[in-house]
A and B are shown apart, each in its own frame.
Chain A
């Protein structure tokens, strides 16, 4: 009885495998070594593939295109639009002319109605899109004939064009469905270089080249995104030859580089520069972290160079503000090395005196606070431990504690958090939500309840002005104000490290934002890859 039962199950299993093998789509030779297919290990899987719920909102979605796209240098270039938009009415209207002859992968032509449908659905209250506020400036979207789309804004919003990389979906497919639950979420149809051919949830997504792609069918015909959440597992599978490329934490990428035992394949490591900062929020409401002397002392006491070298294995840069040091908007001159005696001087002058236990105190209040970091995030954990270690040298007692976001969120206004962030495209995208006092405590915007009138004013000026010089001055002011009152201790900008088999030529990486999944890495433009000669 036992044996029969067990054997029965195994046979059933084998039979189902056989059936799965027969019914699996495609069927081209899945040769792992050829240049026309690639298997990439990514850390997270999109919840949905529908742009209506936020998929691919910053471009490089593989399946879809926006009106505009960004090139290797993040410059906006036309995509579904024929050209960059014409801006009128003092920055209140944006007019896009659509490219001719673009078809969705199901053969239907793209029209202005599709664009309007996309934006109106995203702006609809009933759509569960968590990043709707990015389109906050939009008053109205309308089609002007089949080939033109006109956006009317509520207020002049200088970086608006950067938001129109939002992917466009076909109304004839997605229109009849509930955007929150409809099948479009898992069976997307777009104009992009690839079409989804299979999605096995939690395991992998397979994309096939779209022969109808308006930019010409891609040379890499099959792209597989293997979902491997755990960094360690991803590294193992890359090493065992199961993956062609993956995003890895710096230490594992370094281990990979040093190891020649990979199965007769050459790998290249790509370190993508990023806007992705790690910072410590210093809540204004907390008596210790809200104190300007403490904030400045912490800013002086941290050893950013050691963190970059020790935690990031050199794959990153010290961060002295929200913008990376090589950004064109970066305020030159705010860089400074670790200065422990400087930190002590600041604290002495402000009346924080050293107690018996080596921890400073003022009026009976100890210079101590809790620093929360999200559990499971090794890089943040290491940053937090190193930060606490540095703070202690200046006489400030920082207790690093891990917690889940559910726990951290209600405590953000009182406790420091090891946060990350950073957006590409325009300084407004990242800085406004990070620093504006009107957004203090609004979800994960301005987590530290930073409140600085000079910064608020400059943020508004930067957002509303069309003039390059005025904007540059505004963002300069913000960065210098942050040095005077560092309500966030910026620690590092981390490079995103990718390892990829060396089978293609001339690969590039973009400057990357905090979020990185499918869209970032050397495969941001996999549709343009050419095989190695």
Chain B
């Protein structure tokens, strides 16, 4: 297992090199003006002279490959530069916000996996039944619904019409302390929407996996041995039906990040995904670059995790062979 992790990490290094170099190349080709980004709205009233002096002070006129190398070497020491939109070091921005994004994504992902498995199994049990058809149609419809649209309608329904849940933020602003109770009540809506956006995929895959497994020999054998339908379903079909899902969990990470980008923005959740959108809007390159690289790291880690999980759950696979 350690060997696999090591090899994956070796693969990750060149990937990250290419990704970050690509980002600097794109930025170099871009017509955006880092000086204006730095000065923000204040630049709108500033005269040319002031802006020119800012340019010299910021030192943005060097070739991009050089700046990439500088960035890379200082990134290795933990210095990711200064975010112009947040006015603080990028590392600090990430440090403050990573936790909240992780919390949101973990809760949503867990809810989606559990809910998806449950609904998928229920649907697969009676294929073509009313439950199956309802679940499947809903899943297809939800998979086509843009998550930001669902989020808006959820706010309208739960926060405005029913006044059940807070519409955004992490805590009530009046309090300076972040208490668990507040976070939970603020988490329900964004995590719920994010989970619902990920749910269809799990439902459909689990349903497919379990349904396929039900027709396979071991299951038929188990049935023939007179085991109860319950045991067959949970003991055999679920196990082999979930296997393909597990392998693909890692590949869902990009989708999860995509969903988080939109959900955090709609609910003003103070996580890194919302920060990414802010950075993009303000053309805050240092922050945007760091967060993009971070997402790449997360995806690579997710792939590794999926491989490891697959190995753990399926004894036929030897990790050393992967």
Contact = CB atoms under 8 A, between A and B. Distances in A.
A233 B168 contact: yes
B3 interface: no
Interface in A6-37: 6, 9-10, 13-14, 16-18, 20-21, 24-27, 30-32, 37
Interface in B54-88: 54, 57, 82, 86-88
Contacts of B268: 228, 230, 233, 237
A445 interface: yes
Nearest to A54: B42
4 tightest CB-CB pairs across the interface, nearest first? Answer: A130-B46, A236-B167, A32-B174, A30-B175
Interface string A102-141: 0000000000000000000000011011111100000000
Interface in A217-239: 224, 226, 228-230, 233, 236-237, 239
Interface of B is mostly: helix
A6 B110 contact: yes
B173 A13 contact: no
Contacts of A125: 53
Contacts of B82: 181
A375 to B, nearest CB: 10
Contacts of B99: 13, 16
A277 B181 CA distance: 45
A130 B160 contact: no
A1 B308 contact: yes
Interface in B193-207: none
Interface residues of B, number: 61
Interface string B107-138: 10110000000000000000000000000000
A130 B42 contact: yes
Interface string B283-311: 10000000000000000000001001100
B32 A133 contact: no
A452 interface: no
Given A47-B42, A130-B46, A37 B163 contact: no
Contacts of A224: 173-174
A1 B283 CA distance: 40
Interface in A174-231: 180-181, 185-186, 198, 200-204, 206, 224, 226, 228-230
A329 B39 CA distance: 33
A476 interface: no
Contacts of B270: 200, 202-203
Contacts of A242: 166, 169, 172-174
B178 A17 contact: yes
Contacts of B173: 39, 41, 204, 224, 226, 237, 242-243
A130 B39 contact: yes
Interface of A: 1-2, 5-6, 9-10, 13-14, 16-18, 20-21, 24-27, 30-32, 37, 39, 41, 44, 47-48, 54, 125-126, 128-133, 180-181, 185-186, 198, 200-204, 206, 224, 226, 228-230, 233, 236-237, 239-244, 261, 405-406, 409, 433, 442-445
A18 B163 CA distance: 28
B46 to A, nearest CB: 4
Contacts of A236: 155, 159-160, 167-168
B180 A133 contact: no
A2 B309 contact: yes
Contacts of A445: 45, 47
B199 to A, nearest CB: 17
A344 B303 CA distance: 68
Given A17-B179, A237-B268, A243-B173, 13 more contacts: A6-B109, A37-B174, A47-B87, A128-B53, A181-B82, A185-B87, A202-B275, A204-B173, A233-B167, A236-B160, A405-B36, A443-B44, A444-B46
B33 A444 contact: no
A21 B167 contact: no
B13 interface: no
Nearest to A201: B86
Contact of A443 (B45, B87, B96): B45
Residue of A41, A54, A200, A240 with most chain B CB atoms under a 10 A cut-off: A240
Given A21-B179, A242-B166, A180 B32 contact: no
Contact of A30 (B44, B48, B176): B176
Given A25-B176, A54-B42, A406 B106 contact: no
Nearest to B45: A444
A21 B36 contact: no
A88 to B, nearest CB: 30
B45 A20 contact: no
A237 B160 contact: no
B167 to A, nearest CB: 4
Given A130-B46, A443-B47, A20 B178 contact: yes
A445 B36 CA distance: 15
Contacts of A24: 176-178
B180 A186 contact: no
Interface in B140-158: 155
Contacts of A206: 176
B87 A48 contact: yes
Contacts of A2: 309
A350 B319 CA distance: 84
A30 B44 CA distance: 38
B50 interface: yes
A456 to B, nearest CB: 18
Given A6-B110, A203-B270, A21 B102 contact: no
Contacts of A21: 177-179
B106 A133 contact: no
A507 to B, nearest CB: 19
A413 to B, nearest CB: 13
Contacts of B40: 47
Nearest to B270: A203
Nearest to B281: A376
B172 A406 contact: no
A106 B161 CA distance: 49
Given A30-B174, A233-B168, A17 B57 contact: no
Nearest to A128: B54
A261 B48 contact: no
B93 interface: yes
A406 B86 CA distance: 20
A240 B169 CA distance: 11
Residue of A10, A21, A47, A132 with most chain B CB atoms under a 10 A cut-off: A47
Nearest to A132: B50
Contacts of A129: 50
Nearest to B49: A133
Contacts of A132: 50
Nearest to A447: B44
A243 B173 CA distance: 7
Contacts of B168: 233, 236-237
B41 interface: yes
Contact of B183 (A17, A31, A48): A17
Nearest to B104: A13
16 contacts: A1-B309, A13-B102, A17-B180, A18-B180, A126-B53, A130-B54, A180-B57, A186-B88, A226-B169, A236-B160, A242-B172, A406-B33, A406-B283, A409-B36, A443-B43, A444-B46
A128 B42 CA distance: 11
B322 interface: no
B149 to A, nearest CB: 14
A406 B32 contact: yes
B25 interface: no
B207 to A, nearest CB: 20
